[in-house]
Structure formats: C-alpha cells, structure tokens
Structure 1
Amino acid sequence: MSGAADFVHLVEPARRPQAPTLLLLHGTGADEHDLLPLGRVLAPGAALLSPRGKVDENGMNRWFRRLREGVFDVDDVVARAAELAEWLPAALEHHGLDAPVVAAGFSNGANIAAALMFLHPGLLDGAVLLGAGYPLQGRGPGGADLSGTAAFLGAGAADPVSTPDQARLLADHLAGRGARVEFLEHPGGHGVPPRVVEGARAWFDGRYGSP
C-alpha cells in the first residue's frame, strides 16, 4: 500500500458527503470488528477505517507493548505510532477515503490515538478518547501545535486501568498544546457507558455536523 507497512483492517465507505473519515482503534484483546458499532453511532454515514493492532500480548491484540499493567514501553509507543502514521495516508488513498480524519479509540486504542496527536500533529483533525491515559509516560508532549484540533475524553471516576489522574493529565497536555478539549467524567470504571456515547456523539455533531 504505497510502500507503507500494512495493517489488517476493515473499511465501510462513506454514505454521507463531506463527512470525515473515522479511524477506529480498538482496545486490548479486541480486533478490527470491535468498534464498528460505536463508529456507526458516533458518525452515521461517515467512512469507517478500522485496523487491527500488531502487538501480540499473550494472544491479545494491542497497539504497543507495555512492561506491566499501567506501565508502557514508551519507545515502542513512539515506534508503533510512527508505523500507524505512515500507513494511514496510504490507506486513505488506497480506499479513496477523504480527510479530515477523526480517531475514535478505547483504552489502548485511545492511547495510540493520543500518541498520534502529540507525535504526528496534523494527521488527525480530532479524536474521541475513551478510557485513555497519557501515553508518553515520563516524557513531555513535545512541541506539537495542536491548535485547530479537538478532543473528547470520556473517563471513569472509578477506572483502575486508566485512572482519572491519567485522563486529566492527558487532557491537560492536549489543552496545553492548543487543542480544544471536552472532558466528561462518569462514575463507572473502565468502560463506555451510554452517557459517554451520547456525549461523544453530541461533540462529534457539534464539530462536524449531524447527518
């Protein structure tokens, strides 16, 4: 695919002109099928591009390695984000999909989406980050100019995997680089309750228009 390392992926073509392309990034142990229903709810009629993470952790698909629960291999985060960033424009061209591109990710997928925003500014126009934390642990966000981009964060107050502190740190770093951030905290754990889906859909409609 134009020289870019390929990812196993699924595509649903757009049924609504002018809609952005939604890049769906699954969580640990899931695959390219997992977030298709969420994508259809967030952006009815938009093109969906849903790849599968290449890292195998004891039979579970992931986007990057971790050293243990909650501790990321940050060098691998950087390398895997670069690989995904190389693939995405080639995939868009190959499938005839249009920019802008908005990522929607859960957990590990939301973390790699956030890494794309910091490390490859301009690749994504925005992101829906659910159950996410700051992916560049121990490192600053760099000098990325994220003005003009936007992010919706859904975080659980009782989330033991992506803690509220990590979610707020991610929101602060995004806002500090110029992104417009909407943060919605729910009382649950590591999941995506209906309230968060509704909030993300409203955010998407407000930024990109409803069908």
Structure 2
Amino acid sequence: MSNSLSHVHRLVPASGETARPPLLLLHGTGGDEADLLPLGDMVAPGAALLSPRGQVLENGMPRFFRRLAEGVFDEADVVARAGDLAAFVAEARAAYDLPAPVALGFSNGANIAGALLWLHPETLAGAVLLRAMMPLGTPPAADLRGKPVLILSGAADPIVPAENAERLASALRAAGANVDHRILPGGHGLGQADLTLARDWLAAL
C-alpha cells in the first residue's frame, strides 16, 4: 500500500459510518508517513487518513520542500513540490476512492498545505495549519471563497514570528478563505489546546 503511488505513504481507511472528509496528514521536518497518524485519529476519529512522506531530505530528515535557512524557503522548490503533492493526492483519491481531503499539517507540513491552498486549491476541502508560516513571499491570486482554514499559532513560537502567522491568516482571508486564527500559549510544539481546538473545528465542518 505504501509504495504503489508517487509518494511513500500510509492509508488508514475510514471506519464506522463516519461522513467525515479524509485527512491529508503532512508531517513536520524529520517526520514520516507514520508521524501524524495518532494525531489524525485523535482529532478526527473514524476519518480516513492519508499520510505521505516528504520527498526532500535535509541532513537525512524528510521534508516537503527545500529551505535555504531557518524560515527562508526555496520558493521555486515550494512551487514544484506543491505540484507533486497535488498530483499524489489526485492519484490517491482515484486509487482509494476518496473525496477531497482536509489537510492537517504541522510546521513544514502546514507550510506545504498553505502552498497547496494557493497553487492547487481544488486539491483540498480545507486545512488545519499548525505552526504555519507564509510559504510564498507573494502568493498568487487564488479563489478560496468559503474554504475553511484553521490556523493555530504559538504565542512564544521561536520559529514562526507572530507577524508572519498573522500575515498568512490575512492573505488567506483576502483570497476568500473562511479563516479561524487562534494564538495559543506555548511555543512550536503542540499541546492539549491544539488537539481540542482541531477536533472541535473538524467536527463542525
């Protein structure tokens, strides 16, 4: 199952009679296709979980796109890798008979999810962006009217400046997305508040 498409991945089929959209789980730097499966199960019990591994290696650690330094992204690679990921999602939807997923991304995974929203908006039904930054300096015009997006930022995050996270939320709103941006106590790591807010937001979709 995990190697038959363009990205190494894991699929957990939906269970029960859930009508939840599937989750596209996008790990942070150094994660892999198993990394966010427990999180996905906690915040969307019963939903199908599609979890690809990033195809870029940084010092042996998987990522979804290259960066030039901490917080400085190779934007040409962001664009190329977002296209590859969108193609993978289309392959997986056909192979596994899935509707459009909601992305659940952490850090690097949240950033590639943001890039998907702008560059390939048809790929996602919505997104939960955990500790996300602007993936592109000047995002292209996109029609995100009504697209639900939850952004959860850490007030003391040493990696994502507060101004950057707010700029991300504002830019998505300007493109028409229905954005809920929450700033939580804590840093770049996730806490119980993240899980509770993500679970409640996903349940309300």
Contact 2:37 2:51 in 1 (8 A): yes
Q: 1:122 offset after TM fit, Å?
A: 1.7
* Amino acid of the structure 1 residue aligned with 2:104: A
For 2:109, the equivalent position in structure 1 comes to: 109
CA distance in 1, matches of 2:55, 2:160: 21
1:184 is paired with a residue whose SS is strand
CA distance in 2, matches of 1:112, 1:201: 21
For 1:7, the equivalent position in structure 2 comes to: 7
Length-normalised TM-score, structure 2: 0.95
For 1:76, the equivalent position in structure 2 comes to: 77
* Amino acid of the structure 1 residue aligned with 2:52: P
* Amino acid of the structure 2 residue aligned with 1:174: L
For 1:18, the equivalent position in structure 2 comes to: 19
Alignment of 1:53-92 (within 5 A): 53-92=54-93
For 1:44, the equivalent position in structure 2 comes to: 45
Q: 1:181 offset after TM fit, Å?
A: 0.6
Contact 1:126 1:149 in 2 (8 A): yes
Q: 1:5 offset after TM fit, Å?
A: 6.5
Contact 2:115 2:136 in 1 (8 A): yes
1:61 is paired with a residue whose SS is strand
CA distance in 2, matches of 1:201, 1:183: 15
| Alignment partner of 2:184 out of 180, 186, 189 | 186
Identical pairs, percent: 53
CA distance in 2, matches of 1:150, 1:122: 13
Question: How many residue pairs get matched?
Answer: 202
CA distance in 1, matches of 2:41, 2:56: 26
Contact 2:155 2:162 in 1 (8 A): yes
1:50-107 per-position Cα deviation (integer Å, ceiling 9, x unaligned): 00000000011000000011100000000000010111111111122x2131000000
Q: 1:146 offset after TM fit, Å?
A: 0.2
* Amino acid of the structure 1 residue aligned with 2:9: H
CA distance in 2, matches of 1:95, 1:177: 31
Length-normalised TM-score, structure 1: 0.92
For 2:136, the equivalent position in structure 1 comes to: 136
For 2:163, the equivalent position in structure 1 comes to: 165
1:161 is paired with a residue whose SS is coil
Runs (4+) of structure 1 exceeding 4 A deviation are: none
For 1:154, the equivalent position in structure 2 comes to: 152
The root-mean-square deviation of aligned C-alpha atoms, in Å, is 1.5
1:136 is paired with a residue whose SS is coil
CA distance in 1, matches of 2:18, 2:198: 21
* Amino acid of the structure 2 residue aligned with 1:10: R
CA distance in 2, matches of 1:100, 1:87: 12
* Amino acid of the structure 1 residue aligned with 2:117: M
CA distance in 1, matches of 2:115, 2:5: 18
